[in-house]
Amino acid sequence: DLHTYKDYPYEAKEFKGDTVLDELEAYDVKVSHAVADVTDFDELQKAVDHIVSELGTITILICNAGGGEGELTAGMPSTMDMDQFDRVIRRNLYGTANTIRCVVPMMKENRKGRVVTLISHTGQSVNSSGSYSHYAAAKAGIMMYTKSLAMEVGPYGITANCLSPGFILTGRLQQRFETAGADMVVKNTALKRFG
């Protein structure tokens, strides 16, 4: 999705362009783009094919599409709205799997590539109340999917690693952290502050 930086006022002051594409072009980077729903494999494959046709073989893949849904204090396992659960699992876990399935075969063919997936601290530990369990389950799934991928692609000279950011204070998440109680959130960090 080609959000403009005005959608993220917290970060806007740091950037030179109005969109990610503008920002990259300001640094003289050759860019291409395609918009696709990562939960739709066929749509995503068309987007990847378009980018490859413009820029060539993909050697670095960062799977960062995702996100939770609902309040950070909601999403309890025993009362989970299963439609919401399905959307979050599809957006995060299926989105990562689909992206990998679209790109990694060309990496294997070329015996070259780097794959980075992103999870969250909730993929490794749960909230003390058990909340946001749909997101935690999706992110834990991505971690195991990435470990499996690393075993598959290692013999091809390809690496697959998973990054797990902590509580990062982005413009998109600032209001959610405040609603959940910022003090409650940062008390679980070593430096007692947001990243």
Looking at the annotation, which residues are catalytic? 135
CB distance 94 to 119 below 8 Å: no
Give the Cα separation of 73 and 132 in Å (integer). Answer: 7
Token representation of residue 45: 């494959």
In the structure encoding, which two tokens stand for residue 1, read together? 């999705």
Closest by CA position to 66, among listed 14, 148, 11, 136: 136
How would you classify residue 33: left for phi > 0, otherwise alpha for psi between -120 and 50, otherwise beta? beta
Question: Which residues partner with 161 through β-bridges?
Answer: 116
Task: Determine whether 183 is exposed, middle or buried from the number of CB atoms within 10 Å of its CB (0-12, 13-18, 19+).
Answer: exposed
On the 0-12 / 13-18 / 19+ scale of CB atoms within 10 A, 113 is: buried
Q: Which H or E run contains 160? A: strand 158-163
